[in-house]
A = this chain, B = another copy of it.
Amino acid sequence: MNTVRDVCVIGLGLIGGSVLRAAVASGRKAWGASTSTSDTEAAAADGYDVVGGDDAVAEALRRAAAADAVVVLAVPLTAVRSVLALVERHAPGCLLTDVTSVKVPVREAVRAVAPSVTFVGGHPMAGTAESGWQAAKDDLFSGAAWVTTVDDDTDLTAWREVSALAVALGARVVPLESETHDETVARVSHVGHLLAAVLASVGAAGGPVAAALAAGSFADGTRVAGTRPALVQAMTEGNRAALLSVVDEALGALGAARGSLASTGGLASTIEAGHEALRRMTDQRNAPRTSVRVRLSAPDARDALLSVGHRGGHVTGFDGDVALADVP
């Protein structure tokens, strides 16, 4: 088992570019390709190994197949299927991961379009409002949570390879089923983008005087509404099933506040529940942690890994076929 595989990155925007930079910084041999000329030219100018030309993505994938590299799919969700078709054609049987913000739809796309590859989904919880190679940094993933998927059909040897890459890039790995990932990011990311958009619209409806009175709390609550709309649209629409039920929860909670305000005038339960929820999440993040070792060849390895993720733990490294984790 080669634990320091070469890395082939398809897509050189903020996340893909940061994967290429961080992989090289970690000592791995790594190359990239993109359909964006501006990103490829900028990456090449910065001295990275970027495959150029009209056939760049196919050529980068053929190199990956020859080197048995891990292929990292770092293209927007809307481009995943077309790139998967190239992977199936030029690097059949490769080890493939991705960095997109939803996991069930990507898994389904892989099954449909690239059935020969060995796939482990991934999602680094890192990003900025910026985009493109110019925003990429080799320490973008330092200390960040990086989900790697553990589904019923996941090959744990492949999972180890992908997770070891995430650890090498500075991240802490959170093993999760694809479905749990999608529900959780709907809660902690996607619904927040919708609420920020709603708050911005309701605020702006107050006209210039609202702009004059808006202060720090409005700026905080609407900050993500400044993200490029196409990016937000792709990730929220791409997580439709999980997001829908979370939006219903938010509507229920806001509707309950409305009902209470209209009837008794009281908002204590809404406000206290939110305050307590925030405190509980902070406590969970700061809870003392215990070291856990999960032998990947053990019969219950899959459940043990998922337990690490569900309890808010992280895999922080590997010792042979043992995953080293810390768990609250």
Contacts and interface: CB of A to CB of B under 8 A. Distances in A.
A310 interface: yes
A255 interface: yes
B265 A240 contact: yes
Nearest to A197: B274
Given A187-B206, A205-B249, A194 B145 contact: no
Given A209-B184, A217-B189, A261-B247, A203 B281 contact: yes
Interface string A257-271: 110011001111011
Contacts of A215: 125-127, 144-145, 188-189
Contacts of A74: none
A185 interface: yes
Interface in A149-197: 174, 176, 180, 183-185, 187-189, 191-197
A281 B198 contact: no
B198 A278 contact: no
Contacts of A211: 280-282, 284-285, 312
Interface string A268-309: 101111110110111011000000000000000000000001
Interface residues of A, number: 95
Contacts of A174: 209, 212-213
A271 B311 contact: no
Contacts of A71: none
A27 interface: no
A140 B104 CA distance: 49
Interface stretch (A17-25, A34-42, A218-226): A218-226
Interface in A196-243: 196-215, 217-218, 220-227, 229, 232-233, 236-237, 240, 243
A208 B308 CA distance: 10
A267 B185 CA distance: 17
A262 B277 contact: no
B273 A197 contact: yes
A226 B262 CA distance: 25
Given A195-B199, A199-B250, A209-B311, 14 more contacts: A174-B213, A188-B203, A192-B218, A192-B221, A194-B267, A196-B274, A197-B257, A197-B271, A197-B274, A197-B275, A201-B277, A203-B277, A236-B267, A251-B251
29 contacts: A127-B215, A174-B212, A180-B209, A183-B206, A184-B206, A184-B209, A188-B206, A188-B214, A189-B215, A192-B218, A195-B199, A196-B221, A196-B274, A197-B275, A197-B277, A198-B253, A198-B270, A204-B280, A204-B281, A209-B311, A212-B285, A212-B312, A217-B223, A226-B275, A229-B271, A233-B267, A237-B267, A240-B261, A254-B254
Which 8 pairs between the two chains have the least Cβ-Cβ distance?
A197-B274, A208-B312, A204-B277, A211-B284, A200-B277, A211-B281, A188-B214, A200-B274
